[in-house]
Amino acid sequence: LTGAIVSDQPDPISADEVQRRLRRAAEIASSLGFIGQVEYRHVYSQSGGAQYGIGPSADDDLLVVYSQAFDRDANTEDFDLDAMIAHEVGHQRLLRNAKLRILLEKFPGETFEEALASLVGSVLLPETKSAEMLVWKAAAELTNLRLSGEAIVDFVERMRSLLRKLL
């Protein structure tokens, strides 16, 4: 997801607020089936609101949620925390679930990986606005491949129904 402007820095927050943010992020992640460690860092990251890191085993995997995830969550026009975390959990599933890994091998490349992470996230979430945002994000990603609008809608629909069976 998009990074912050370089000169930006987050306003300070209390230790309680840091704990509250961590708890909220960890609750969302575990409700979506994330395995591993969740951290909250009160910094603006160049890598966006949240980031998944793969470890030697799933238990060692790391999900870091950054300050701007909460700024974006507060903006009703922007991605909410559920959508941002679901996208990162989608990355974990793609790499940790053998059946999903086959999908990644079938559709190599960063664009497909990003689109698939959003689609996995959209299926993990209940049918909410957050899920809709991720479907929209996946479709936006796929326009980079110069596919027609029709081909994108078709791919997204097929992939979501396949993922519903695989997840």
How far apart are CB 114 and Zn ion at their closest, in Å?
Answer: 5
How far apart are CB 140 and Zn ion at their closest, in Å?
Answer: 13
- What span, in angstroms and rounded, lies between the C-alpha atoms of 161 and 151? 16
Give the 3-state DSSP-derived string for 88-104, with helices as H, strands as E and coil as C: HHHHHHHHHCHHHHHHH
How far apart are CB 14 and Zn ion at their closest, in Å?
Answer: 30
N- to C-terminal Cα separation, the chain: 24
- What span, in angstroms and rounded, lies between the C-alpha atoms of 70 and 85? 11
CB-nearer residue toward Zn ion: 51 or 67: 51
Of residues 49-88, those binding Zn ion (CB under 5 A): none
3-class secondary structure, 121: helix
How far apart are CB 19 and Zn ion at their closest, in Å?
Answer: 26
Of residues 2-31, those binding Zn ion (CB under 5 A): none
Amino acid identity for residue 119 in this structure? L
CB-nearer residue toward Zn ion: 117 or 133: 117
CB-nearer residue toward Zn ion: 117 or 152: 117
Per-residue contact string for residues 98-127; x = within reach of Zn ion by CB under 5 A: ----------------x--x----------
Distances in whole angstroms, Cα of residue 63 to Cα of each of 16, 46, 89, 147, 153: 20, 15, 8, 32, 30
* Residues near Zn ion, by CB under 5 A: 114, 117
